[in-house]
Structure 1
Amino acid sequence: MEDVESQIIEAVEQHDSDSRLRVLKDVAAGTCGGIAQVLVGQPFDTTKVRLQSAPPGTYSGALDVVTKLLKSEGPLAFYKGTLTPLVGVGACVSIQFGVFEGMKRLFGAHNKSNGISSDSLTYPQYYISGSAAGLANSMLASPIEHVRIRLQTQTNTVPRQFSGPLDVIRQLRQASGVAGVFRGITPTLLREGHGMGIYFLTYEYLVNKDMRDNGIKRTEIPGWRLCIYGGCAGYSVWMTAYPFDVVKSKMQTDALDPAKRQFSSTIDCFRKTYLASGVKGFFRGFVPTILRAAPVNASTFYAFELAMRAMG
């Protein structure tokens, strides 16, 4: 009897150990994907934010932003505020992938217990898993993106408004407390909750279709096809969630002093953006974002899949 009990205890402990190790691998692979995402996407993101937040008429388009930025601030200006996202986005993407993979296992176990194949989930299950990942990530992504955007939109005027990421946080807290650091959290939740649901659903659909059509395992899918699927996932998220990102950027580049702010809330920002520019106002900066979507998300998923294969 004691032998049976010891075997059960050992099996449970082994399961817990394996589960913790799986989570660590998911998070580590997600971090690799996040670092790749930042290094590839930062120049595109800087261009996008300048277009989104500048007063109407400042730039004629993405190419105009690039030209003026190179002329007045030099090529390194495209990597302004990179340190914050390099650390932060690595953490954000690790949360996204960690939560998503955890939700996949949860739904897989649920399906198996109900006599359904656990090899792949239903489309709603993939969407819910992605949404959960996005919502979990939002609480970290919102302040990180706020700090990055403040630095990205800072010009070379002397003296500079912010000396670095910590100074941005200090000034935001002085002006509005902790709430100031988290300004833009509502549109971030909307963007991430819906966007990540579509994002992961698109990628998993394409991966599962490839495995089914070609009779291969996930680890046997060539890297170039993973890149294509990642790029498609990137297109899907921005085509469905971009207006939320515009509103978030507008709120996060508004005046530090609450008394001088143009937008009092998320709804107010939506309303004023529409009154000023109509529907097209919610798609300013869309071109550099779409150009960015393919290489950035291709590199993100490719780095994640390679890391997962390497760790087993």
Structure 2
Amino acid sequence: MSQTYLLTPDNAALSRHPVAATNKATTISGKDALAGAAGGVVSVLLGQPFDLIKVRLQTSDSGNVWQVVKGIWLHEGPLAFYKGAALPFLGVGASVSIQFMTFHSLRQYFERQQHSQRASTGQNYLSGGAAGIANSIISGPVEHIRTRLQLQPHGVARLYSGPSDCVRQIFAKAGVAGIFKAYPTTVLREFQAYGFYFAAFEASLGSIASLKGKERKDIAVWETIPCGALAGIAFWIGSYPIDAVKTRLQSDGFGADARYRTTWAVVKEIWQYGGFRGFWRGLAPTLVRTSLSSAGCFAVIEHLRKLM
């Protein structure tokens, strides 16, 4: 999955009453869940076309962004940019809840242990990494299925009629293990990505609050937008080479049809044909995508939370 949807408590309130605040049980209200789901939908709408371009570039050793976009537009049509978007839309609400509760539970644990007003950047990284591991239970299968739908031929040559047919065919070939193809690599990607993501958001938001002398609840919606964009960029800068390997593994065949026998085989192939730069193919559209989708996601979340 792509990056998602952080709902953050009032850090200034924690600074005034650190022990009492961090001893509160972590909960996610209906308001938070609704705002997070709405932000996630916006994130998918803004980011899905760029994700498709990323996947096409990561699974090819030639071509550039313009050639990929032109080919999709001419041969598959504009709606093809949203191939595989159905599952991310369906999984948004669950992902928000898992990430939010895992991140804040662990962060509050750190704060209780050290009686601190705020977790350190390193602790936010570890808390975010734990949220990523928890999220991988959903993101692993979702991204696997989405990748196959994004890469399948267009028109009568297509392999799957939709997400459910893709799941059915994968299960018939490889069972549950097939649905979770490349799962260890996905876990590693999620840990690294969400560690950077949450740490960057908390650090940038905390800096803005300190510079302006504001409490968290008084920060305007527009002020969270650059923090969200920065968090999204950190997400991918910290994890993109791992994601490139994961994408090739998830697009591979099963059993005797598998092209790669090990993860290391993917790493060697990418290095052989692209060198160091091969691990970063497709990064430019991904950074554009993540800046838009993360900023839009946070803006929607904050706006809805203030309204409700």
For Structure 1 versus Structure 2, the TM-score category normalised by the shorter chain is 0.7 to 0.9
Q: CA RMSD in A?
A: 2.0
The 1:91–1:167 alpha-carbon spacing in structure 2 relative to 1, beyond 3 Å, is same
Distance (Å, rounded) in 2 between the aligned partners of 1:102 and 1:157? 47
The 1:124–1:101 alpha-carbon spacing in structure 2 relative to 1, beyond 3 Å, is same
Note if 1:39 corresponds to 2:45. yes
Of the three residues 287, 290, 294, the one matched with 1:293 is 290
Note if 1:109 corresponds to 2:115. no
CA contact (8 A) 1:33 1:90 kept: no
1:102 alignment partner, SS class = helix
Aligned to 1:238: 236
The 1:106–1:310 alpha-carbon spacing in structure 2 relative to 1, beyond 3 Å, is farther
CA contact (8 A) 1:263 1:269 kept: yes
Q: Deviations over 1:10-65 (max 9, x none)?
A: xxxxx9xx8475465544443233222111101111111111123x23xx211111
CA contact (8 A) 1:147 1:168 kept: yes
CA contact (8 A) 1:49 1:149 kept: yes
Deviation of 1:159 after TM superposition, in Å, equals 4.1
1:199 alignment partner, SS class = helix
The 1:22–1:77 alpha-carbon spacing in structure 2 relative to 1, beyond 3 Å, is closer
Q: TM-score, normalised by structure 1?
A: 0.85
Residue type of the alignment partner of 1:30: G
Aligned ranges for residues 123-162 of structure 1 at < 5 Å?
A: 123-162=121-160
Of the three residues 62, 86, 95, the one matched with 2:65 is 62
CA contact (8 A) 2:28 2:101 kept: no
Which consecutive residues of structure 2, in runs of 5 or more, have no partner in the other structure? 1-20
CA contact (8 A) 2:26 2:105 kept: no
Aligned to 1:258: 255
Distance (Å, rounded) in 2 between the aligned partners of 1:101 and 1:26? 13
CA contact (8 A) 2:132 2:190 kept: yes
Percentage identity across aligned positions? 38
Distance (Å, rounded) in 2 between the aligned partners of 1:242 and 1:295? 18
The 1:266–1:27 alpha-carbon spacing in structure 2 relative to 1, beyond 3 Å, is farther
Distance (Å, rounded) in 2 between the aligned partners of 1:101 and 1:307? 20
The aligned length equals 286
Deviation of 1:305 after TM superposition, in Å, equals 2.8
Residue type of the alignment partner of 1:149: T
Note if 1:88 corresponds to 2:91. yes
Aligned ranges for residues 208-247 of structure 1 at < 5 Å?
A: 208-247=206-245
Q: Deviations over 1:104-153 (max 9, x none)?
A: 333333333xxx32xx2111211111111111001110100111111111
The 1:28–1:123 alpha-carbon spacing in structure 2 relative to 1, beyond 3 Å, is same
Deviation of 1:100 after TM superposition, in Å, equals 1.4
Aligned to 2:203: 205
Distance (Å, rounded) in 1 between the aligned partners of 2:133 and 2:66? 33
Of the three residues 168, 172, 175, the one matched with 2:173 is 175
Structure with the greater alpha carbon radius of gyration: 1
Note if 1:282 corresponds to 2:285. no
The 1:281–1:209 alpha-carbon spacing in structure 2 relative to 1, beyond 3 Å, is same
CA contact (8 A) 2:126 2:195 kept: yes
